[in-house]
Amino acid sequence: MIKKLNTLIGGVPIMAGEYYITCSKVDELPTISFTIGGKYCSLEGREYVLQIVKSNCVSVCMFVASSRRH
């Protein structure tokens, strides 16, 4: 799901589950809406993209490996 989401917003995989996003495109990114535990959430592009340097941004929608089992 994370890979598909990042592909849909134009993310380019860079390393360790991170996706590069062109910062100039952040305002054009779609609103992402989802439900967690019955609570509806909605995020604008600037809320799910982190600027790391002036023109380079990364999506905060990433896969984080965990050794914890459910």
- pLDDT 10s digit of each residue in the chain, 70 long? 788 888 889 999 988 788 999 999 999 999 989 888 999 999 999 999 999 887 788 888 765 444 444 4
| Overall number of domains in the chain | 1
- Start-to-end CA span in the chain (Å): 18
pLDDT at 34: 86
44 domain-assigned:
yes
21 domain-assigned:
yes
Q: Which domain holds residue 36?
A: 2-59
State how far the Cα of 55 lies from the Cα of 41, in Å rounded to an integer: 28
pLDDT at 63: 53
Predicted TM-score (pTM) above 0.85: no
CATH number at residue 23: 2.40.70.10
pLDDT at 16: 79
